[in-house]
Amino acid sequence: MQTIQITETVLRDANQSLIATRLPFADFAPVLKRLDQAGYYSLECWGGATFDSCLRYLGEDPWQRLRDIRSACPNTKLQMLLRGQNLLGYKHYPDDVVRLFVRKSIENGIDIIRIFDALNDLRNIEVAVEETLKNGAHASGALCFTTSPIHTLESFARLAKQLEGMGVQSICIKDMAGIMGPKEAFDLVTAIKASVRLPVVVHTHSTTGLGFMTLLKSAEAGADVLDTAISAFSGGTSQPATETMVYALRQMGFSVRLDDAALKDVNDFFKPEFAKFLADGTLNPTVLGTSPDALNYQIPGGMLSNLVAQLTAQNKLDQLDAVLEETPRVRADLGYPPLVTPMSQMVGAQAAANVLAGERYKNISKEVRSYVRGEYGQAPGTVDPALQKKILGDEAPVTCRFADLLEPGVEKAREALGEQALCDEDVLSYIAFPAQAETYFAQRDAKKRNTFTYAVRKLD
Ligand code: CO
């Protein structure tokens, strides 16, 4: 009987997708022990937006959150999401920063690092993968799923093979927009399984309503691990529900070794949390619906709503159809980047600019210029030569790995922070999110001073 393992996303992706990562540690601390007893393959609990949200909105040290989860969950692997050379953001960091970040993540409790690059340019993940392996953690190489004439089963299988060659211990198919259909999933998992001897993990979202079908067909094709979210925080822009998926998988003859009583307790715990965020408006119920529009336009739901907002702000919503027709043309001109952040915004904004100006590429955004210059990595396909010429003139694009051009960054950040930084983790928080980290450090110092004053008064 084929065994399927489950990664629970409630603490990271589900939390990020439904409530913009606003779940404070104190809220979920009481359920960690039970999560640890459920028998998950892993708990995705860190990376992505958790870091930014902890510093910016929750007044939490993200590293402390990780250590606290670690000590409450000694039996379950803790997993994080990392954007390769971009770490948690969208710009490239120098190698010394990437290495220290990976090493400290592992030291503070991470077991599995899922590493991806938005363009599937594997040069942008090689340093993170190497450092993960060097520090004894599990490197999961993730491929961003997208559709285009150049993204074929063969091209994805080839990327998987290259990832295997880099030493990753699993391959993740990452469908961040929820646009991968059950047949695409079945064929892709089959192709990757035929090309590598590694466990295959499938990550999708319920946005378009395909999620359960996509995961079930992935299992049938031999996927080993599926990402799901406990039902209270599942569906819509989040993942398919853990309990429902497990029920269906067992009915179809798969073995899933999860403790159902623990899952029930975990879900019972999260139900009032869900209700609380719904009541205070943090959770907008529209994110829970099913939006097949993303399938019709083959662009992610988030990108579509961005375009609508952008055109509405300019009183040009009547141009939406024209912009939606222009979007795939811009994407083709740029060599078919997967439509994930920041590429989705870049392509959408350029398509809108092309339509609103009445002339293609009359105005070219700074981001598109950097992209064409090669500063994000190599385009999956060929950038339109005329567009490249218009942007670069006779200048040649960057063809090396972009991080090779960057000066080391750890020492500089250490000096800039001085005594504000108590440890390397602080330095990394500052490098990743400078303004948010400094605000957090100031709050932390103020808190310490208050505590001290109080202690002195008590002695009086
Ligand atoms: Co996701």
Please give the Cα distance from 213 to 91 (Å, whole number). Answer: 35
Measured in degrees and rounded to the nearest 5, phi and psi for residue 5 equal -110, 160
First-to-last C-alpha distance (Å) of the chain: 70
> Residue 397 Cα, ligand 1 centroid: separation in angstroms?
31
Q: What's the pLDDT tens digit per position in 192-214?
A: 999 999 999 999 999 999 999 99
Nearest CA to 6 out of 185, 229, 197, 211 is that of: 229
> Residue 176 Cα, ligand 1 centroid: separation in angstroms?
5
What pTM did the predictor assign?
Answer: 0.95
> Residue 17 Cα, ligand 1 centroid: separation in angstroms?
8
Please give the Cα distance from 227 to 215 (Å, whole number). Answer: 8
Provide the angle, in degrees to the nearest 10, between the axes of the packed helices 260-279 and 242-251: 150
Residue with tokens 């949390």: 273
> Residue 179 Cα, ligand 1 centroid: separation in angstroms?
12
Cα–Cα distance list, 62 to 2, 98, 216, 423, 436 (Å): 37, 17, 34, 13, 12
> Residue 238 Cα, ligand 1 centroid: separation in angstroms?
8
> Residue 145 Cα, ligand 1 centroid: separation in angstroms?
11
> Residue 152 Cα, ligand 1 centroid: separation in angstroms?
21
> Residue 396 Cα, ligand 1 centroid: separation in angstroms?
35
pLDDT, position 460: 39
Tokens representing 222 are: 């031999």
pLDDT, position 450: 66
Cβ–Cβ contacts within 10 Å for residue 16, how many?
A: 23
> Residue 240 Cα, ligand 1 centroid: separation in angstroms?
11
pLDDT, position 293: 86
pLDDT, position 459: 43
> Residue 390 Cα, ligand 1 centroid: separation in angstroms?
35
172: left (phi over 0), alpha (psi -120 to 50) or beta: beta
pLDDT, position 456: 44
Residue 179 CB contacts under 8 Å (≥ 6 apart), including other chains: 145, 147, 208, 210, 294, 295, 298, 300
Cβ–Cβ contacts within 10 Å for residue 258, how many?
A: 20
Extract the residue ranges of the chain whose pLDDT is less than 50.
Answer: 453-460
> Residue 16 Cα, ligand 1 centroid: separation in angstroms?
9
In 52-196, which ranges are E strands?
77-82, 112-115, 138-144, 170-174
> Residue 414 Cα, ligand 1 centroid: separation in angstroms?
32
Cβ–Cβ contacts within 10 Å for residue 101, how many?
A: 24
